[in-house]
Every structure is written in C-alpha cells, then in structure tokens.
C-alpha cells in the first residue's frame, strides 16, 4: 500500500455526499443530464448577487502597487474591520478587528479553531444528525467526537447532552441552521445550552467552548431569526463562510470570530492566527477578502430557496413522505419508509434520483435531499419519488 493505512481507511468510509455526486456524473453521461435528478450535494444553484461582479471587477482592476503581497496572517486589516463592524451591528457587541481571523472557508475555520483548543483525547460533543466531515476535522487534531442524538423533531436533547459531559469534554460543536435537517435552534434552547456549559465549565475549572458553524445563517424562512450564540454563552466561537449566502463555494472564503468576552482572549487569538498559518492555509484568498468586505450586507434571493422548499415539501407530502419542514438552509431530511435508508436511496437511484442516506449523517432511517437545484429538477423528479415510495409503503 503506497498511502498511509489511516488515510486508506478514511477514503473507504468517506462522505456519502461525494460518492453520490460522482454517481450523478456517471449517470448523466449515460442517460443525459436532463434525465438525472441530482439532489446529492449542497452546491448553490443561484448566482451571486449582481453587486459581487461589480466589486470583483473594480478590485481586480486596481493597479496600485502592493495589492497582491503578503498580509497579516489573520487577514487584511480593512477586511477584518469591516467584518467587526458588521458583527457589532448584528450581535450588538463591541467587536474589534483583532476578534476576527479570515479563513479558507468554514471548513478551514473549523480546523483552525479545533487545532487551537484541543489536546489529544479531548472530546467534542456533537448532536446528530450532523455533517460527517466534522469527524475528520476532529481526527485531524486528535479530538474525539461524542455523539448525542437529537430529539425526533431534531431539537437538542439536553438530558443526553448532560449525560455526555465529563472531564474530557472540551467543546460543543453546533450547526444552526442545520445540515442536514434544516432546523434552527431557538434562543431558549441556546440559552439553556449556554447555562449547561457554564455550569460544567465551573465544575472543571476551565472553559468548555461552544463552537458554532453558521454558513447558512442568512438562509432562513418564514420570518425566523437565527439567535446569537454570542448572547447565549461567553466562551464561544462563530465560524462562517460566504459559500451559501453569496453563492461563492468555490472561492473558499470565510472567517472565525471569537466572542469579545471570551476568557484569555489574547492567547486564544494568538493560537488561531498561528494555526491558520501552520495548517497551511497561511491566509484566506486575498482578492476574495477585499471583495467580501464590501458585500457583508448582501445575500442571494432567499425567496427562491423558499419556493423550492415549498415545491419539494408539497410534492413529497402528496407522495406520502414524512418530514420536518426546514426552517433554514436548503436541505430536507425525510424519514424513509424502511429502516434501511441505503436500500431506499438505491430505489431512488433506479429512478435516476440521487439523494444521500441519512446514515451518512449519523441519522439513519432518513435521506437528505439538497434542494438548491433548478425548479424543473424538483418537478420532473416527483414521479420517481412517488414510484420509489410505492415500492416500500404498504
């Protein structure tokens, strides 16, 4: 074997999302793209807001010297100032540029935070179902996932969380709006979680951190607001990207913001900046830093995703599917009519419908449907969804 045993094993159990995405490529080549209905990957189908190209063109045309040189490892000062000003407005807290580190997307930000806070063997509590790449991120930094199932409606199970906490607990990793369920945790639940973490931190004599992964924070429906984790708990990190709300996943740009009241902030920030460098990210993309600094108030047309959500939910309800209607993000996580969600995904695949088994998100008995697709994809897939359900439902 030419590569490490550990990586070989990781490749074998790697993300179902990518497997189905690759299956989609093969099926499109065989049957024609118009006859394959790919709901496997959360790749936004909306174009960035018009202002994006205006700002990009303007900045790319700037001929002043020094535009492409090295920068502070935390990112361009003017970008971090713009982010701090934006966060101050949204969260009502006194953010400064030194509270922000620009990162290579949210994935880069999560790795930076985890490397900064984890000792070998530290445990991080995660509520399932969840984005399975978190396991690999934790393994990168010798952390251990401690998985606690959510309630049937995907809300936090506080009794389970309480039971999972011990002397090895270092952090709680939260994702709201959630991938894959679309749930948005309430202000009351975040407050209760903050109180629980505070009590256990006091017992341990050190902070248990709350790490909030929020790339979908601007993609919410029906007047729902995403509560601030910074209000809920002092020892918190906010991590986000511009991949979803600006439809810029390929540009790999995001940031980490620490709660201005976090303990030992100087050491925490020094750790984040060092880890940003030694993990090989060094800096978030310079050009994109300058661009997003002018787009912090912008987002794609969320009403388009709301329409797709409703179209999908109405159609699947008519076919007999059961689900919690998403409050945010662009995923639906319906229950499967049989326990074996992989078997049901295979049945959908026979109809050229590509979804991801819930077991890939530690949520067996469900499938994930990414509805950031063209309307016609949802419409034309509906007969296949109905046919697959009839095969199993008695």
Q: Which domains does the chain have, with CATH numbers?
A: 5-48+300-392 (3.90.1150.10), 64-292 (3.40.640.10)
Torsion, CA 245, CA 281, CA 279, CA 101, rounded to 10: -60
**Count of positions (residues) in the chain:** 394
What is the per-residue pLDDT for 10? Answer: 72
Nearest to residue 290, comparing CAs of 119, 144, 81, 148? 81
What is the per-residue pLDDT for 97? Answer: 98
Divide the 394 residues of the chain into consecutive groups of 10 and give the mean pLDDT of each group.
78 69 80 89 95 97 90 96 97 96 98 98 98 95 98 97 98 98 98 98 98 98 96 98 97 98 97 96 94 98 98 98 98 97 95 94 96 97 97 79
Torsion-angle region of residue 32: left (phi > 0), alpha (psi -120 to 50) or beta?
Answer: left
Q: Are strands 100-103 and 254-258 parallel, antiparallel or unpaired?
A: antiparallel
If 0-12 CB within 10 Å is exposed, 13-18 middle and 19+ buried, where does residue 3 land? exposed
377 vs 331: CA distance, rounded Å: 15
What is the per-residue pLDDT for 32? Answer: 84
Alpha-carbon separation of residue 233 from 195, 207, 262, 348 (angstroms): 8, 11, 9, 43
- In the block, tokens 């010798």 appear at 142
Nearest to residue 109, comparing CAs of 134, 139, 86, 72? 134
80 vs 95: CA distance, rounded Å: 10
């Amino acid at each position: 074997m030419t590569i490490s045993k550990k990586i070989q094993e990781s490749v074998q159990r790697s993300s179902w999302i990518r497997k189905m995405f690759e299956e989609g490529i093969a099926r499109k080549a065989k049957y024609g793209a118009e006859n394959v209905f790919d709901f496997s990957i959360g790749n936004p189908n909306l174009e960035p807001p018009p202002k994006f190209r205006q700002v990009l063109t303007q900045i790319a045309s700037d001929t002043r010297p020094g535009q492409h040189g090295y920068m502070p490892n935390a990112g361009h000062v003017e970008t971090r100032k713009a982010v701090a000003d934006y966060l101050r407005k949204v969260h009502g807290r006194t953010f400064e540029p030194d509270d922000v580190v620009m990162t290579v997307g949210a994935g880069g930000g999560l790795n930076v935070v985890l490397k900064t806070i984890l000792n070998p063997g530290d445990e991080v509590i995660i509520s399932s179902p969840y984005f399975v790449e978190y396991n690999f991120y934790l393994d990168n930094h010798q952390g251990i996932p401690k998985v606690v199932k959510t309630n049937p409606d995907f809300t936090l199970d506080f009794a389970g969380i309480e039971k999972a906490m011990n002397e090895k607990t270092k952090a709680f990793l939260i994702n709201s709006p959630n991938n894959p369920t679309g749930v948005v945790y309430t202000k009351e639940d975040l407050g209760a979680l903050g109180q629980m973490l505070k009590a256990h931190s006091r017992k341990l004599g050190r902070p248990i951190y709350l790490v909030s992964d929020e790339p979908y924070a601007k993609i919410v429906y029906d007047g729902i607001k995403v509560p601030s984790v910074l209000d809920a708990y002092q020892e918190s990190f906010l991590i986000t990207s511009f991949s979803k709300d600006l439809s810029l996943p390929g540009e790999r740009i995001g940031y980490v913001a620490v709660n201005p009241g976090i303990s030992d902030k100087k050491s925490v920030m020094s750790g984040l900046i060092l880890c940003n460098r030694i993990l090989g990210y060094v800096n978030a993309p310079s050009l994109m830093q300058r661009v997003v600094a002018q787009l912090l108030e912008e987002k794609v047309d969320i009403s388009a995703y709301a329409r797709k959500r409703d179209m999908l939910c109405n159609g699947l309800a008519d076919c007999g599917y059961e689900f919690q209607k998403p409050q945010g993000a662009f995923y639906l996580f319906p229950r499967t009519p049989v326990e074996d969600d992989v078997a049901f995904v295979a049945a959908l695949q026979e109809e050229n419908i590509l979804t991801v088994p819930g077991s890939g998100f530690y949520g067996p008995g469900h499938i994930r449907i990414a509805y950031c697709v063209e309307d016609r994809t949802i419409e034309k897939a509906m007969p296949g969804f109905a046919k697959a359900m009839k095969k199993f439902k008695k």
